[in-house]
Amino acid sequence: MVRCFIGILLPDSLKNAVSKIQDFIRTLDAECRFVEYENLHISLSFLGDMPDNEILKIQQKLDEVVGNYRKFSLLVSGIKFIPTRSYIRVIALDVVDDSGVLVQITDKIKTNVGGDVKPPHLTLCRVKKIADKLDVISRILNSNTYCGELEVDSINLIKSELKPTGPVYSVLHKSSLK
């Protein structure tokens, strides 16, 4: 079995900007588990544990979906509290796609590949406990969360190996856009 998900990898320039936002959140009165620098990515679909013999089929289906689209740009900016502000389990950055291409791709992934497809986002941390939720939310929303633009030229099938020190990600397959 291979634990895997579909996502978009980030260049170091964007990871550096994201890391600064994580550093700011670390100063707040919240107990969080932060996504490691090397694991920062935009989540599209969590597939979970897949049988080894299904991986090739998933790669082919992902190629079919992604190969129909041209490269496009995303803006990484703005905060999402998942699932809601009143019950925060994850603090994430929003992914803005004015072209609408990413929504089309994620819809096709949901239909043709499957998995747990959520609106695209970039997880900053998983929240364990927040002492003063209103203060933390207010301070985050009033901070600069602009990270920059990203040209998307591929969508990746990523393996997630759970280790005692945290997950280790490796690209199983890269599906390129036109």
Contacts 24+ apart (CB under 8 A), 18-22: 18/76, 18/93, 18/122, 18/124, 18/147, 21/93, 21/124, 21/143, 21/145, 21/147, 22/124, 22/125
State residue 124's pLDDT score: 98
In Å, the largest CA–CA distance within the chain is 49
CA atoms in the 13 A half-sphere facing the CB of 132: 7
Domain 2-173, CATH: 3.90.1140.10
State residue 39's pLDDT score: 96
State residue 148's pLDDT score: 96
> What is the full per-residue pLDDT of the chain (178 aa) written as tens digits?
999 999 999 999 999 999 999 999 999 999 999 999 999 999 999 999 999 999 999 999 999 999 999 999 999 999 999 999 999 999 999 999 999 999 999 999 999 999 999 889 999 999 999 989 999 999 999 999 999 999 999 999 999 999 998 899 999 999 999 9
- Report d(CA 74, CA 98) in Å as an integer: 8
State residue 165's pLDDT score: 87
- Report d(CA 17, CA 27) in Å as an integer: 16
State residue 166's pLDDT score: 86
State residue 89's pLDDT score: 96
